[in-house]
């Protein structure tokens, strides 16, 4: 069987990687072949029927790896069915999801040729123990505001897998 769907993600603290894997499980549940890879390891998009990209928001922005990926694969992406998920809110408040969507849309506005079938905002994880550099340094400063943020992990695994199954149905309607 040929590879079908590529899930390419970037992560700084690891939570987006786990979401990408769970999404892959949902697609495989429906018989779709999936490869889940960090986007900086992806060289070509030639062999894929569809792609799902995922990235976390940090201070309103996506990591540089995503911007590099979009710029580098512009031509291949333009001809590929795509979906996009942005990770952000770590509390279940609609206003946080709305704000994250606005941030994601602003970031993606630089790539007007990129038309994912869906942009989905998914809840993430905030945990002082998993902060990426340089934020990890801040947790050692007693006066740092970051120490006051509530820890939370609102990743909804059942919903993520269900979305994977839903995408599988669109990629492979008979699946």
Ligand X SMILES: Cc1cc2nc3c(=O)[nH]c(=O)nc-3n(C[C@H](O)[C@H](O)[C@H](O)COP(=O)(O)O)c2cc1C
> Pairing mode, if any, of strands 34-38 and 50-56?
unpaired
Return the number of the residue (104 or 167) whose C-beta is nearest ligand X: 104
The Cα–Cα gap between 172 and 170 comes to: 6
- CB-based contacts of 73, cutoff 8 Å, min separation 6: 42, 45
Residue 93 binds to ligand X (criterion: CB under 6 A): no
Least distance to ligand X, CB of residue 80, Å: 23
The Cα–Cα gap between 175 and 4 comes to: 13
Residue 48 · residue 5 · CB < 8 Å: yes
Q: Which of 16, 24, 82, 167 binds ligand X (CB under 6 A)?
A: 16
Least distance to ligand X, CB of residue 9, Å: 8
Return the number of the residue (151 or 170) whose C-beta is nearest ligand X: 151
Least distance to ligand X, CB of residue 62, Å: 10
Q: Which of 24, 26, 56, 164 binds ligand X (CB under 6 A)?
A: 56
In the chain, what is the straight-line distance between the N-terminal and C-terminal CA atoms, in Å? Answer: 14
The 3-state DSSP composition of the chain as helix, strand, coil percent (nearest 5) reads 40, 20, 40
Residue 24 binds to ligand X (criterion: CB under 6 A): no
Residue 126 binds to ligand X (criterion: CB under 6 A): yes
The Cα–Cα gap between 87 and 19 comes to: 9
Residue 124 binds to ligand X (criterion: CB under 6 A): yes
Q: Which of 103, 120, 164, 168 binds ligand X (CB under 6 A)?
A: 103
Interacting residues toward ligand X by CB under 6 A: 11-16, 56-60, 87-90, 100, 103, 124-126, 131-132, 135
């Amino acid at each position: 069987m040929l590879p079908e769907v590529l899930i390419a993600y970037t992560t700084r603290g690891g939570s987006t990687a786990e979401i990408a894997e769970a999404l892959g499980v949902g697609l495989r549940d429906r018989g779709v072949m999936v490869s889940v890879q960090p986007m900086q390891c992806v060289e070509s998009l030639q062999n894929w029927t569809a792609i799902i990209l995922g990235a976390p928001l940090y201070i309103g922005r996506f990591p540089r790896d995503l911007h590099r990926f979009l710029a580098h694969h512009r031509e291949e992406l333009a001809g590929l069915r795509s979906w996009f998920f942005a990770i952000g809110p770590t509390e279940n408040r609609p206003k946080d999801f709305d704000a994250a969507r606005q941030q994601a849309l602003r970031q993606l506005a630089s790539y007007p040729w990129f038309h994912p079938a869906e942009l989905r905002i998914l809840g993430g994880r905030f945990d002082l123990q998993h902060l990426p550099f340089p934020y990890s340094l801040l947790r050692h400063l007693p006066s740092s505001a970051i120490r006051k943020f509530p820890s939370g992990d609102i990743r909804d695994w059942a919903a993520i897998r269900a979305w994977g199954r839903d995408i599988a149905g669109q990629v492979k309607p008979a699946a």
